Structure 1
């Protein structure tokens, strides 16, 4: 089994008013030359968690960090006008929280972060600030996953 020290959250950078399935994501990654989907998990708008890549296999989601990380992506990240936004549904928030908690229990040495938090610290002040982000992904602060209040009655998941 691989040593895991990061759990990296991404968004698919797809519009919230359109469907972007795990098959769409995999097809797009194959077109880009990946051997499969780059993420280990994909969370659909309805909260369903899709396993895309075995955990034993390094991902292809965060250059320079793939060997020791797990990649989670949620469907969305762009509003209906194509602008970056936290478009997570209550179902996605619930599933993301449960998945992250489970992975942190299985990999207690891992740190949770968003893809944007792996951008280079250009001014070397020890903090990755918005003007340094290579991407806005995942369009919210991933560190809040464990501290934000659970969504009200996410339904039967």
Structure 2
């Protein structure tokens, strides 16, 4: 297993209320030259958590951070017009995110939590992921 020091949350930047699959995201990523989906986990709108890349495989989700991070993506992140950033997480996605982050923190207790926007000039993941800092025993600033 590779060393994991960061967990990075993303959104798919897809319109609220629309479902997308790992297979669709993988096709988008392959069109960009990736060998498969770049994220390790994808959270569907119904709260189901789907595997992307295996954890022991370096992700393709955050330039300069892939080698030592895990990428989580939730479906959504923009308004229905497909352009304006918005926290579109469903109640089911919020619950799934909490459970997934607890599991990952147990497996990688020294990893820190980040939103993609902390490393790129983007709104992604369209919410402040540090609402989950309590899982990592960190007080938000």
| TM-score after normalising by structure 1 | 0.82
Q: CA RMSD in A?
A: 1.3
Q: Please tell me whether residue 32 in structure 1 is matched to residue 19 in structure 2.
A: no
SS state of the match for residue 70, structure 2?
strand
- Residues 39, 73 of structure 2: 8 Å contact kept: yes
Task: Check the 8 A contact 1:13/1:78 in 2, yes or no.
Answer: yes
Match status 1:141 vs 2:128: yes
Query: Where do 5+ consecutive residues of structure 2 fail to align?
Result: 136-141
| Cα drift, residue 21 of structure 1 | 1.4
Could you say what secondary structure the match of 2:93 adopts?
Answer: helix
Instruction: Tell me the equivalent position of 2:139.
Output: none
TM-score normalised to structure 2 length: 0.91
Cα deviation code 1:1-33 (max 9, x no counterpart): 111100000000000132211111011001110
Structure 1, unaligned stretches of length 5 or more? 120-133, 149-157
Indicate the SS of the match to 1:7.
Answer: strand
Deviant stretches of 4+, over 4 Å: none
CA–CA distance in structure 2, aligned partners of residues 143 and 76 of structure 1: 18
Q: Which residue number corresponds to residue 118 of structure 1?
A: 119
- The structure that has the greater radius of gyration is 1
Indicate conservation of the 8 Å contact 2:113/2:133, yes or no: no
